[in-house]
Chains A and B, each alone.
Chain A
Amino acid sequence: MTAAVVFGLCGAAAAGLGLYGAIANPRPLRKILAFNLLSSGVFLLFGVIARRGAVSAFSGDPVPQALVITGIVVAAAGTALAVALLLRFFKATGSTTLSAGALASIPADSIDE
C-alpha cells in the first residue's frame, strides 16, 4: 500500500464520479463540470504510472507526466469551447437546459444577426 496505490484508487473513484455526473445530471454546465472531474481522475491514473516508474536518478517517469501536462491544457481548451457554446446557446434561447422545448424555441433567423 504505497502512496501511488492510494491515489490510483482515488483517481479511479474520481473517474467513476465524473462519469456518473456526466450521465445523470441534465444541465449542460454540470455535465462540463463532471467531464472535468472524469479527466482529472484519468490524469491521476497517469500520475500513478509515472510515480511507479521511478528510478534512482528521477523520482518519476517523465513521459507520462509530460502527457498529463499536455492533457490538462487540451482539457482546458475543450472546456473553454464548451462553455462558450453553452453561453451562446443561453443567449439565443434563454434556456440553460437541453430540453426539447428550448431547442424548438430558437427562431430560425435569430442566430445570424
Chain B
Amino acid sequence: MISVADIFTVIAVSAGAFFFMAGSVGLLRFPDTLTRLHALTKADNLGLGLVVLGLMPRAGGLLPALKLASVWLLVLFTGAAVSQLIARAARDGDQDDE
C-alpha cells in the first residue's frame, strides 16, 4: 500500500532531480563562467533542498532529519562562498587578459 509519505518523497525527489538537470544543462550551455555559476546555484539550493525535503519522511526520527537538513545548510553555505571565490577569480582573470 503506497502511503502519502512515499508519494511525497517521490514527488519532491523528482522535482529536485529536475532542478539538478536544469543546473547541468545550464552548466553546459551558458556562455561564460558567471552565468554558469548562476545555473549551478539552482542545482545546489533548490535541487538539493527538494531532495532533502523528500527524504525527511524516510529519515526515521527527528535527529536524522535534522542531520539531513544540516547537510543541506552546509552545502548552501560552502556553495555560496565558493561561488563568490570562483566569480572573483573569473573576473580578475578577465581583467588580466585585457
Asked if the two chains touch in their complex, CB atoms less than 8 Å apart, one says no
